[in-house]
Structure 1
Amino acid sequence: MALRITVDDLTGPDIAALLQQHIDDMRATSPPESKHALDLDGLRKPNITVWTAHDGHHLVGCAALKQLDPTTAEIKSMRTAATAQRRGVASTLLRHLITEARTRHYTHLYLETGSADYFTPARTLYQNFGFQPCPPFADYRPDPHSVHMLLTLY
């Protein structure tokens, strides 16, 4: 699958629907105080860049980088469309985010994901790319429903 990855302006109905599915799934799998997924307004911040992946005209995934400070960023809103799961979309997007983080000269790339079984594929993906468990970062607090991970880039 040859994906086209582009910066998204978050105005299209396809990205709105994909992100709503993401929010709905997070609400269904995590208690409210442990849900850290951002909605469209939360992603429309100057320190956040969102990319979408298309296979032809079909939106198959999205991912975002949130700059925490000049040398660190957080991965947000990693999502693969249900119709495109197990086809390498998440790996391709994650590779793109890591490359972009290096281009921006970030030294550390963080993420938060869930600890429930539902999130096992995500945690496995991140571990396969070298992310390691770490203590909570930024505004996160210890939470049994969250796993915090770090990839040291430099």
Structure 2
Amino acid sequence: MAVSLAIETPLQDDVRGLVSELNATMIPLTPREFQFQMTVEQMADGAVTLVVARNEAGEAVGMGAIKDCGQGVGEVKRMFTRPAVRGERVGKAILAKLEKLAREKNLTRLVLETGEADGFEPAYRIYERSGFTRCGRILDYPDAGHNRFYEKKLVP
């Protein structure tokens, strides 16, 4: 499947739909107090860049965001692809685009927090295949056994 990737505003109905689908998928997997989801309003903040994947019909089929945390660190947030396109490397393409944007912003390290439970294995695979390695606690996230942390150092 051919998809196009573009930087877009999260304040669109179809992106809100992606966020709702992502939340519906993730909420049952981890205790609520250990979930750190950004809302579309938070994603509209100037420090966040959202990449949306669209199919040939123009439908949003995936997304991912990068938040500039300062001091050369970017955080990958809200990675999601619709089930219909899983296995077609849409997530890999989104992650590669986010990394390219991070390099353009002169970021030197990408980090991310994800869940630590059954159901997250596809996420682990995409991060690890894209060069991310597990690391200790990042940013201000608690390390409570319900999350997993990754990083990727970006060499100029």
Q: Please confirm whether the aligned pair reaches a TM-score higher than 0.5, indicating the same fold.
A: yes
Matched, 1:97 2:98: yes
Task: Give the equivalent residue in structure 1 for 2:117.
Answer: 116
Q: Distance in 1 between matches of 2:49 and 2:138?
A: 19
Kept after mapping to 2: 8 A contact 1:68/1:74:
yes
1:27-81 superposed Cα distances (whole Å, 9 cap, x missing partner) = 1111111111212122121111111011111211000000110411000000001
Q: Distance in 1 between matches of 2:116 and 2:5?
A: 28
How far the C-alpha of 1:149 sits from its partner, in A, is: 0.4
Unaligned runs of at least 5 residues, structure 2: none
How far the C-alpha of 1:86 sits from its partner, in A, is: 1.2
Identity %: 27
**Matched letter for residue 107 of structure 1:** T
Equivalent residue runs for 1:43-82 within 5 Å: 43-56=43-56, 57-82=58-83
Q: Distance in 2 between matches of 1:68 and 1:12?
A: 24
SS in structure 1 at match of 2:119: helix
Equivalent residue runs for 1:132-147 within 5 Å: 132-147=133-148
Poorly superposed stretches of 4+, deviation over 2 Å = none
Q: Give the TM-score taking structure 1 as reference length.
A: 0.95
CA RMSD of aligned residues (A): 1.1
Unaligned runs of at least 5 residues, structure 1: none
**Matched letter for residue 54 of structure 2:** H
1:103-128 superposed Cα distances (whole Å, 9 cap, x missing partner) = 11111000111111200110111111
**Matched letter for residue 36 of structure 2:** H
Q: Give the TM-score taking structure 2 as reference length.
A: 0.94
Task: Give the equivalent residue in structure 2 for 1:35.
Answer: 35
Q: Distance in 2 between matches of 1:10 and 1:21?
A: 14
Q: Distance in 2 between matches of 1:42 and 1:32?
A: 18
Q: Distance in 2 between matches of 1:6 and 1:125?
A: 20
SS in structure 2 at match of 1:51: strand
Kept after mapping to 2: 8 A contact 1:134/1:149:
yes
How far the C-alpha of 1:11 sits from its partner, in A, is: 2.5
